[in-house]
Amino acid sequence: MKKLITLFFLLAIITLASSQSSISERQKATIQKDSIKKSRTAIDLEEKKIDSLISSLGKFKIYKKAAHASYYADKFNGRRTTSGTKFDNNKYTAAHKKLPFGTKVKVTNEKNGKFVIVEITDRGPFVKSREIDLSKRAFMDIAANKNSGGLQVTIAVMSN
C-alpha cells in the first residue's frame, strides 16, 4: 500500500511539473507573438516618420546623374569647413564645388537605390573626376561595398 501511495504521489508531481512547463511554453509563445507585433508596429512607425520627413523637406530636382561620390578622410574630422562650420564625419554633410552652402541634397546610390539627404557645408572635392564628397557616415549608409572609396550616384537638389 505504501508503494502505491508513493507511486501515486510521484505521478502527481510529474503531471503537475509537465502541466506547468506546458503553461510556461504557451506563455513564452504568447510573449514572442506580442514582441513580434510590437516590432512590426515600431518598424511601420519608423517608415512613416521617414516618409513624412522626406515629404516635409520638399521636392528634389535632379542635378546630375552618374556622378562620382567619395568620402572625407578621417584626418579632416574636427577641422573647419569653407562655410565656417566644424566638420564632423558622423553627420550628414557634403562638399560640392558649386552648390550654395546650406543646400539640401539627396544623394542616391545608383546600384542599390539607397539614399541620404545631406547639407552642403564645404567646397570640394578637388579631384576633377569627382562631383561630391560625403561625410563618412553618409557614404557608408548608401554604399553597397563598405570597402570601396567611391560610387556612382544621382544628385538631386531640394527645391522649395
Residue-wise pLDDT for 74-94, tens only, equals 899 999 999 999 999 999 999
Residue type, 63: Y
Q: What local confidence, expressed as pLDDT, does residue 26 receive? A: 74
Q: Which of 12-26, 32-46, 115-129 has the lowest mean pLDDT?
A: 12-26
Q: What local confidence, expressed as pLDDT, does residue 73 receive? A: 86
**Which of 83, 99, 72, 95 lies closest to 158, judged by CA?**
99
Residue 106: count other Cβ atoms within 10 Å of its Cβ. 20
